[in-house]
Amino acid sequence: MKVVDGIEMKKLDRKAMEEYGIPGVILMEHAGMAVTEEILKDLAHQENKEIVIVCGTGNNGGDGVVAARHLHQKGFPVKVRIIGDIARISEDAKINCDILKKLRVDIKTIIDFKDVPKLSEELSRCGVIVDAIFGTGLNKEVQGLTREVILAVNRTNTYVLSIDIPSGVRASDGHICGIAVKADKTVVLQLPKIGNIQFPGADYAGEMVVKDIGIPHEAIEKSNFPINLITADMVQAILPQRRKDTHKGNYGKAYIVAGSTGMTGAAMLTCEAVLRSGAGLLKVAIPQSLNNIMEVRLTEAITVPLPELKKGVVGISDIEKIIKTMQESDVIAVGPGSGQTRELEEVLRNIFEAATIPIVLDADALNALAHRQEILKLIKSAAVLTPHTGEMSRLTNIPVEEINRNRIQIALEFAKKWNVILILKGARTIVASPDGKVFVNTTGNPGMATAGSGDVLTGIVTGLLAQGIQPIKAAIAAVYLHGVAGDRAAARLGEYGLIAGDIVLELPYAIKEIVGK
């Protein structure tokens, strides 16, 4: 599903109107009806059926006014409160306001701070507040009277439904323009906006429901706006059903180079996730002295001990053996728990030069690349990098705060510059491809902020790549499944007690949930 910013949404609205001749009032009518439908669902669970709709003077307010008409028609007590100068109301919203007046719906304007206490009282007394103050047209910090009204909405305990996006959240990036409505539910019109899914804005949305308002789907499909939301349908289409007449050779050989003294656990988690993702065969390169530990724990994997020179870490002396196994494999992953050694860069350089298979780089492999990203240019095959924000900061020399303000753009620029698939991990993981596309993941939860959960993701990407899934698709499916597995684990155990191994254990069920088998 496409994700847009305010400008792209406006373009699509205009296209619907100008190229397809769908008048704005019709789109507004659909929006208002979609909102009504959701309000009716919410009202079904509560005694207090009174609704107060707080509107701005733009088209978002117009959607609220249409909803007021439908609710009035169905016999619900509705109040409409319009903030600001009603003379400035948008054309389509005015048409609908005029109808409301003729229907004698209770409609008033809030033009002064002294109107706020009365409004606060109405907001506290009603059963549902509809927030139709600003949508995609928010273009500056929220101040003055509107700020007071939003504060009043947030002070109540009343259920709040926002139209399109909680007022105060900037559609283009999720920035909070000083203050924003804290919604219980957001009825997103036609397409999710970046501000609906990127933090901090995403935190204000509550439950999100996306509703079609009649913008032609072919117009949306033709849009070349690069951002997409990863959905279950998308992942289902990526994961093939297994054919009956197959054997382990059909599901690929994965090769993991991971682990060092003190960090065999990272290698273990990655390996388990590779196997649980359905790869046919797994080999793991491990410093000789750690081999026994791995053999005991990893029943199903083949270990390939490396004759380490420096005890407990992989070094350049191991490279011949690494390259040989790599040449017999379908994917290689390097980095989880590898340790920070100077030699790792040299190891990577050799792998990059020799590899004809997809390469997954995580953790210490990424640290080894910091300040030496240019060696990524040696890679002739596909590469998937999986940094968390801290690793991304080291890779790019951009401060963490700046990355967090601009995750999509920074991930995209890196992917294009270095011709890699970049998975920028965190709450709302971003997958960026070198051809300029971005996929945002919304599965997962803060319970996954625990040591080793990134190693699990590396294993899933690697396991899917082993099975011959196209690299960008493997990355998309991996982040989604990783999040679903994490959500399942959290549902069972809660977020506090969740550990990375639980994500691995839930992974088969997450896959089954999507694939059906």
Ligand X SMILES: NC(=O)C1=CN([C@@H]2O[C@H](COP(=O)(O)OP(=O)(O)OC[C@H]3O[C@@H](n4cnc5c(N)ncnc54)[C@H](OP(=O)(O)O)[C@@H]3O)[C@@H](O)[C@H]2O)[C@@H](O)CC1
Ligand Y SMILES: Nc1ncnc2c1ncn2[C@@H]1O[C@H](COP(=O)(O)OP(=O)(O)O)[C@@H](O)[C@H]1O
**Binding site members:** 59-63, 131, 135-141, 164, 167, 266, 337, 388, 425-429, 454-455
The residues, ordered by sequence, that sit 6+ positions from 18 with a Cβ below 8 Å of its Cβ are none
Work out which of 3, 12, 22, 31 binds ligand X, going by CB under 6 A.
Answer: 31
Using CA atoms, how far apart are residues 420 and 31, in angstroms rounded to an integer? 40
User: Per DSSP, which regions of 290-414 are E strands?
Assistant: 302-306, 331-334, 359-361, 383-385
Minimum Å gap between C-beta 455 and ligand Y is: 5
- Buried b / exposed e along 69-88 (16+ C-beta atoms within 10 A): bbbbeeebebbbbbbbebee
Taking CB under 6 A as the binding criterion, the range among 134-142, 247-255, 327-335, 377-385 that sits at the site for ligand X is 134-142
Q: Note if the bond before 77 is cis, omega within 30 degrees.
A: no
- The reply on whether position 163 binds K ion by CB under 5 A is yes
**Shortest separation between residue 132's beta carbon and K ion, angstroms:** 6
For position 263 contacting ligand X by CB under 6 A, the verdict is no
With CB under 6 A as the contact rule, the residue among 164, 272, 364, 455 that binds ligand X is 164
Residue 197, SS3 per DSSP: helix
452 belongs to the binding site for ligand Y (CB under 6 A): yes
CA–CA distances in Å: residue 314 to residues 183, 265, 348: 51, 16, 11
The residue among 16 and 474 lying less far from ligand X, judged by its C-beta, is 16
* DSSP E strands, 49-204: 51-55, 78-83, 106-110, 128-132, 159-163, 185-189
Residue 265 binds to ligand Y (criterion: CB under 6 A): no
Q: Which does 398 bind (CB under 5 to 8 A by kind): K ion, ligand X, ligand Y, none?
A: none
Binding piece for ligand Y, criterion CB under 6 A, among 251-259, 352-360, 410-418, 438-446:
438-446
**Pairing mode, strands 227-229 and 253-257:** unpaired
CB 177 within 8 A of CB 209: no
One of 59, 441, 442, 450 touching ligand X (CB under 6 A):
59
One-letter identity of residue 517:
K
Residue with Cβ nearer ligand X (182 or 349): 182
Residues in a beta bridge with 334: 257, 361
Q: How many CB atoms neighbour CB 20 within 10 A?
A: 12
Q: Which of the choices K ion, ligand X, ligand Y, none does residue 444 contact, using the CB cut-off of 5 to 8 A by kind?
A: ligand Y
Nearest CB to ligand Y, comparing residues 298 and 427: 427
Q: Which is nearer to ligand Y, 150 or 194 (CB)?
A: 194
Q: What are phi and psi of 360, to 5 degrees?
A: -110, 130
Question: With CB cut-offs between 5 and 8 Å by kind, which of ligand Y, K ion, ligand X, none does residue 427 bind?
Answer: ligand Y
Q: What are the phi and psi torsion angles at 188 (to 5°)? A: -85, 130
Q: How far is CA 150 from CA 178, 179, 184, 197, in A?
A: 11, 7, 14, 21
Residue 162 site contact among ligand X, ligand Y, K ion, none (CB < 5 to 8 Å, cut-off depends on kind) = K ion
What secondary structure letter does DSSP report for 176? B
Give least dist CB 413 to ligand Y, A: 20
Nearer to ligand X, 135 or 201 (CB): 135
162 binds ligand X (CB under 6 A): no
| Interface with ligand Y (CB under 6 A), residue from 5, 8, 92, 455 | 455
Q: At what angle do helices 24-43 and 59-73 cross, to 10 degrees?
A: 50
Question: Is 458 within 8 Å of 242 (Cβ atoms)?
Answer: no
10 Å CB burial of residue 233 (0-12, 13-18, 19+) is: exposed
Q: Is 192 in the site for ligand X (CB under 6 A)?
A: no
Binding segment toward ligand X, per CB under 6 A, in 21-29, 230-238, 380-388, 486-494: 21-29
Q: Which of 144, 446, 494, 497 binds ligand Y (CB under 6 A)?
A: 446
Binding stretches for K ion (CB under 5 A): 131, 162-163, 167
Binding stretches for ligand Y (CB under 6 A): 363, 388, 425-427, 429, 444-446, 448-449, 451-455, 457, 482
Binding stretches for ligand X (CB under 6 A): 13, 24, 27-28, 31, 56-63, 90, 134-142, 146, 163-164, 177, 189, 213
